[in-house]
Chains A and B, each alone.
Chain A
Amino acid sequence: DTAVSQTPKYLVTQMGNDKSIKCEQNLGHDTMYWYKQDSKKFLKIMFSYNNKELIINETVPNRFSPKSPDKAHLNLHINSLELGDSAVYFCASSQSPGAGELFFGEGSRLTVL
């Protein structure tokens, strides 16, 4: 069983559209994250949730709205997609917000045309 799974793995869409990426973890962890890796390969944290509560929001445009229906799921919804949103988005989880051992998903590659 995959510990942290993301869907879809690939997403190609037009500018201006709205899209969502889903993430689920079966590790029983309390904390989940979204990271963005751009074309230059820099990995940047976007959000962190602990037990469904937002604890880190890294000055991400408000077109990005994370939602955590329960502690095993953290979804990322993006409105009005722009070319610069093209990237690989990684979901991750950890046992607690203070833990430094994160388990990452395989990534979702978003291409905005």
Chain B
Amino acid sequence: DAKTTQPPSMDCAEGRAANLPCNHSTISGNEYVYWYRQIHSQGPQYIIHGLKNNETNEMASLIITEDRKSSTLILPHATLRDTAVYYCIVRVGSGNTGKLIFGQGTTLQVKP
């Protein structure tokens, strides 16, 4: 089972920031949080990951709370092409047999 919970859906206006929350209250100290997205009819795409510090790349920012029990993915200026299902994932297991378990994700609808 996935170790994360996310709202099933969210809307965002084009050009505004999209803030996607994720709860992972059972996360262990050395487990990373990963974010992926899946645009309709495409394969999932890696976005970003983090352990405890905030992270930023060309796609998004990841804010992780100090207690690491939740995080927020931020798309600073959402476009229509950002409409997708966003998955927040904590890897299950460790070492070579660790795996990414995808939950239901959040369907983000960016509206004009």
**A and B part of one assembly:** yes
A113 located at the interface, meaning its Cβ lies under 8 Å from any Cβ of chain B in the complex? no
B112 located at the interface, meaning its Cβ lies under 8 Å from any Cβ of chain A in the complex? no
Indicate which residue in B42, B45, B97 contacts A56 across the interface (CB closer than 8 Å): B97
Q: Please give, as numbers and ranges, the residues of chain A lying within 8 Å of B85 by CB-CB distance.
A: 41
Chain A interface mostly: strand
- Chain B 86-103 interface mask (CB, 8 Å, partner A; 1/0): 010101000111111110
Chain B interface mostly: mixed
Interface residues of A, CB < 8 Å — how many?
Answer: 23
Complex alpha-carbon distance, A105 and B41, angstroms: 11
A residues neighboring B (CB under 8 Å): 4, 35, 41-45, 48, 50, 55-56, 90, 92, 97-98, 100-107
A-B contact pairs, 27 of them (CB 8 A): A35-B102, A41-B85, A43-B44, A43-B87, A43-B102, A44-B102, A45-B99, A45-B100, A55-B96, A56-B97, A92-B43, A92-B44, A97-B95, A97-B96, A97-B97, A98-B96, A100-B34, A100-B49, A100-B91, A101-B49, A104-B43, A104-B44, A104-B45, A105-B43, A106-B43, A107-B41, A107-B42
